[in-house]
Amino acid sequence: LEINLRPMVIGGEDFAGILIVLHDITAVRRLERMRSEFVANVSHELKTPVASVKGFAETLLAGALKDEETAKSFLQIIYDESERLNRLIGDILDLSKIESKRVPLQLSPVHLNSFMDHTLQMLAPEAQKKNIELKLQVEEDLYMEADEDRLRQIMINLLSNGISYTPDGGKVSVTVQAMNVVNGEDPENIRFVIADTGIGIPRKDLPRIFERFYRVDKARSRSSGGTGLGLSIVKHLVELHKGHISVESEVGAGSRFIIELPVLH
């Protein structure tokens, strides 16, 4: 808030009161601050993997190359960190495109049963590695209008989070359901629930997990190859589809992400 005080002069009287002018500049300032925070965060996030690649390459050059075992493990780290850097750059570019609304949605009818089958198949290898059961329940013959690639991006992000943040032997499930069906007509909304039996999210972190780069546990996100941008991207994509996302979670029991999307645009 910017406040201007001016003495008022009326009809020769020297002092008739004070004029107070209030300008709300918070919105502008907040935008400016968010932008510069984003740049600072991005630089920090990019620097970490680069420093790691540089450090391990230096150690190899300084002689660690001679020991084949050590050299292999260092090269693996360099490879993994480059991959993470790649994902990070991809996510940053994608997010900035989505945020500035430069992504026109390519809408088409999506048959949700085959769409979800296909999406889960893509994640099966990741789940198998951790012996996690992937379960799908879709109401028969559901269709909606959506950007199929973006809808897949939403589901993959949420499902792979579910797999990452669930210990071995756990369960990740998706249910897809029609909402607001009136007189046997087409439903107005589709509800997707992506649930896991994982580590859960502390109550105090819940309101912030959709923020860019916000992680409950930095080390854990890093070791699972996360970029900290997945959920921000998901939220923006859901909103581009005029939908809504929410989350419920209990530490040690699991998390549930609930998405509602309109069937037609």
- Positions touching ligand ADP (CB under 6 A) are 161-162, 165, 196, 198-201, 209, 214-217, 221, 226-231, 255
Residue closer to ligand ADP by CB (options 189, 197) is 197
Least distance to ligand ADP, CB of residue 234, Å: 7
Q: How far apart are the first and last CA of the chain?
A: 39
Amino acid in position 128: Q
The DSSP 8-state label assigned to residue 65 in this structure reads: G
Report CA dihedral (44, 48, 54, 55) to the nearest 10 degrees: 130
> Which of residues 5 and 219 has its CB atom nearest to ligand ADP in the complex?
219
- Least distance CB 169 / ligand ADP (angstroms): 16
> How many Cα atoms occupy the beta-carbon half-sphere of 174 within 13 Å?
28
Listed in order, strand segments (DSSP E) in the chain are 2-8, 17-23, 107-111, 133-138, 143-147, 171-179, 189-196, 244-250, 254-262
Residue of this chain nearest to ligand ADP (CB atom) = 226
- C-beta of 217 vs 248, nearer to ligand ADP: 217
Comparing CB distances to ligand ADP, the nearer of 38 and 143 is 38
Q: How far is the CB of 54 from ligand ADP (least distance, A)?
A: 23
Nearer to ligand ADP, 226 or 262 (CB): 226
Q: Which amino acid is at 119?
A: T
CB of 228 to ligand ADP, least distance (A): 4
Q: Which tokens hold the place of 65?
A: 């190359």
CB of 70 to ligand ADP, least distance (A): 29
What whole-number distance in Å separates Cα of residue 174 and Cα of residue 145?
A: 19
| CB 257, CB 235: distance < 8 Å | no
d(CA 76, CA 94): 27
Least Cβ distance, residue 203 to ligand ADP (angstroms):
13
Residue 33 or 208: the one with the smaller Cβ distance to ligand ADP is 208
- Report the residue number, 111 or 215, with the smaller CB distance to ligand ADP: 215
Among 233, 240, 130, 144, which residue's Cα sits nearest to residue 192? Answer: 144
Minimum separation from the CB atom of position 87 to ligand ADP (A): 9
